[in-house]
Amino acid sequence: MDTDTTVLDLEPVRPLIESYRSGEKTIIELMLDIQGVYNYLPREVVEFVAEEAGVPISILYSLATFYSAISLTPRGRNHIRCCIGTACVVRGSQFVLENLKRELGIESGEVTEDGAFSLEEVHCLGACALGPIITRGEKFYGHVTKSRVREIINTLRRADQECA
Ligand code: FES
């Protein structure tokens, strides 16, 4: 259930919708651009896009649920995925996942209070030979060890604070 009562600023979405309407962007590109603004696609924004772009809301939700890169649930500025597929598990990914939870102070599917991190468990990222593997956006971290988790998170945390 969506319990967030914050009123979203929809202004940043208007020029993005215009780029879709002019044919400059595809609907997927539009959705990814919007996700870049909010870190996910809030329900309110999906409704706004449907109305302003003239795209049936059912199509938007179908695309959002089909493409794993698009999220309808809140994500942190650093969305961390940890693979728990078989090839990664046999190389110790469950320990990596436990350390991620400990370092971030959240469970899978949650966002840190400051909005800096979110964590997701996934089943195979298609790079099994590099397991255990975690990702942050497009970046892959391969052969991750329990001890390397802290180093990766600290580096990302510093970069996030510098951007704040
Ligand atoms: S099982 Fe982890 S990348 Fe395939």
Residue 3 lies in a domain: no
Residues 123 and 154 grouped into a single domain: yes
Residue 1 lies in a domain: no
Residues 60, 64, 66, 68, Cα dihedral to 10°: 160
Query: What pLDDT, in 10s, does the model give residues 41-70?
Result: 999 999 999 999 999 999 999 999 999 889
Residues 84 and 153 grouped into a single domain: yes
pLDDT attached to residue 4:
52
Residues 87 and 51 grouped into a single domain: no
Q: Name the 3-class secondary structure at 139.
A: strand
pTM over 0.85: no
Atom of ligand 1 nearest to the CA of 132: 2
- DSSP state letter for 111: B
Based on the structure, what is the number of domains in the chain?
A: 2
Residues with Cβ within 8 Å of 18's Cβ and at least 6 positions away in sequence, in order, are none
Predicted confidence band of residue 163 (pLDDT cuts 50, 70, 90): confident
Q: Name the 3-class secondary structure at 100.
A: helix
Residues 59 and 87 grouped into a single domain: no
Residues 51 and 95 grouped into a single domain: no
Residues 82 and 159 grouped into a single domain: yes
Residue 111 lies in a domain: yes
Relative to beta strand 134-136, strand 117-122 is unpaired
Lining ligand 1 with CB less than 6 A are 83, 85-88, 124-125, 127-128, 131, 133
